[in-house]
């Protein structure tokens, strides 16, 4: 059975790119959120097996959302997405419980490899 994924990014184009890569990789997209606040709500509602989370977003950033999701479910698998040059934030995210991170612009092989590794 396909793993259920929640995609979180404030840019619709990035969500579309990720959705494309994941669907082709055999994953089921159960929801999409445009900010951290919505991500936390959808995580609670949809109970995805994996979340891809952008770091920089309006209303609630990805690291804050990651912490809230991990507070709800310490076993939550979250992979952070970052643009080049956000290494400091990536380290914060890993310390907050992110399983891995993928860099934009997305490379399909790297995305699928990170997800496969994170979900076992």
Closest CA relative to residue 12, chosen from 45, 30, 40, 35: 35
Rounded distance between C-alpha atoms, residue 82 and residue 80, angstroms: 7
The whole-number average pLDDT for the span 67-71 is 98
Closest CA relative to residue 62, chosen from 76, 52, 50: 52
Strand ranges for the chain from DSSP E: 4-8, 28-33, 50-54, 78-83, 100-104
Query: How do residues 3-32 score in pLDDT, each as one tens digit?
Result: 999 999 999 999 999 999 999 999 999 999
pLDDT at residue 84 is higher than 80: no
pLDDT at residue 50 is higher than 80: yes
Q: What is the dihedral sign for C-alpha 18, 101, 86, 45?
A: positive
Q: How far, in whole angstroms, is CA 97 from its chain's centroid? A: 12
Domains recognised in the chain with CATH numbers: 4-48+62-108 (3.40.50.2300)
């Amino acid at each position: 059975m396909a793993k259920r994924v929640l995609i979180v990014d404030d840019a619709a184009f990035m969500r579309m790119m990720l959705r494309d890569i994941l669907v082709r990789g055999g994953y089921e997209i159960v929801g999409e959120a445009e900010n951290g606040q919505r991500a936390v709500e959808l995580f609670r509602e949809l109970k995805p097996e994996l979340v891809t989370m952008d770091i920089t977003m309006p209303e609630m950033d990805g690291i804050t959302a990651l912490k809230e999701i991990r507070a709800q479910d310490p076993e939550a698998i979250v992979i952070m997405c970052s643009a080049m040059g956000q290494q400091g934030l990536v380290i914060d995210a890993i310390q907050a419980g992110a399983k891995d991170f993928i860099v934009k612009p997305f490379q399909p092989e790297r995305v699928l490899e990170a997800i496969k590794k994170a979900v076992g």
